[in-house]
Structures are given as C-alpha cells and as structure tokens.
Amino acid sequence: MAIIAKRCGIKFDPPSVILIYEDEHTSKLRKRVMPVRSFSQFSDCSRAAERLKLHPRHGHYLDLVSVEQLVRLHMVLRDHLRGLSVEESLREQRRSHTHEEDLNKLSDEELNRRKAQMDVLFELNRRHKDDPDFVYDLEVEFPDNSVRETCSWDQSDEEF
C-alpha cells in the first residue's frame, strides 16, 4: 500500500504518535494512532523515535516522516510527562538552538541530536560535483581594505 504522509502529531493520554496520511490508491485521508510504549520522563527520545520508525506494524507508515520530526514529538511527550506545557516545551527546544552554547556541557543524547542537526544542515549546504554552479578549484580574492587578523603562525621564518 502506497501512502503519502500529510501530518504528524502526538496525543498525551495515552502517549501516542498520530499520523494523518493519504492512501494513494483510494485517495482517502486516514488516521493512524501509534502508541508509544514504555516511555517515561527519563526516556531517550532519539532511541524511542528510531524504535517506532523500525516497528514492524508502524514503520511502513512512517517512511516519509523524518527521524528528526519524530524526535521532536517525543521530546514534547517527555516534557509533558515532566510537567511542562506544550508551549514551554517548544520554547525550550527553540532556546536550545543558540549558537553561543557550550556543547561540552551537554548530555550524550543532546550532543548526538545536535550533531545530527548539524549533519543535516551540512548536507543541505554542501556542493556536489553534479550541481550546475559547482567549481572544482574555487579561488577567492579578498579586498585589500578588509580587516586582517594576525596570528603567530602567519609570521615568516626569518623572524626566528
């Protein structure tokens, strides 16, 4: 059965992921409720999202849903179990994406999630050989009036 995922959301009681999809053959919209079992406020969201995506009964329906989206939904579920509202959980997720943050202080789970997000951004910005504007050996001339930062390794050998 070929399906097209339209929307993906969550239900708090019982904790479930809900998928609204269109059946390609009948062009009907359908709803699938997938319970999130053995999930607590201490659960690893990325592992729970992967487990749901690989589930034999539900995996086929979640092929077109990204793991990142499932992780975000599981984080909202986990924050709800911790007593946060949906707005607070989403605000916390947005706040955690600051660039001045010290990544050394993050937990392993959070660090792996950030690395996965960085990998996605890298792949979006990456130039491939097949791209029409790809240049193999790109040379850039910087203007003479630009601010130059000096560094100790920039000095010539004659000064030593």
Cα gap 103→111, rounded to integer Å: 7
Residue 21, Cβ density class (10 Å: 0-12 exposed, 13-18 middle, ≥19 buried): buried
Task: Note the pLDDT of residue 77.
Answer: 92
83-113-17 Cα angle (round to 5): 55
- Model pLDDT for residues 70-115, shown as the tens digit of each residue: 888 998 999 898 888 888 888 877 776 656 677 888 888 778 877 8
**Contact predicate 21/33, CB 8 Å:** no
Question: For residue 30, what are its two tokens?
Answer: 């359908």
Domain ranges of the chain: 3-97
Total-model pTM? 0.60
Cα gap 23→39, rounded to integer Å: 29
Task: Note the pLDDT of residue 154.
Answer: 63
- Model pLDDT for residues 3-28, shown as the tens digit of each residue: 888 899 999 888 899 999 998 888 89
Question: For residue 11, what are its two tokens?
Answer: 């239900």
| pLDDT band for position 160 (cuts 50, 70, 90) | low
Question: What percentage of the chain reaches a pLDDT higher than 90?
Answer: 10
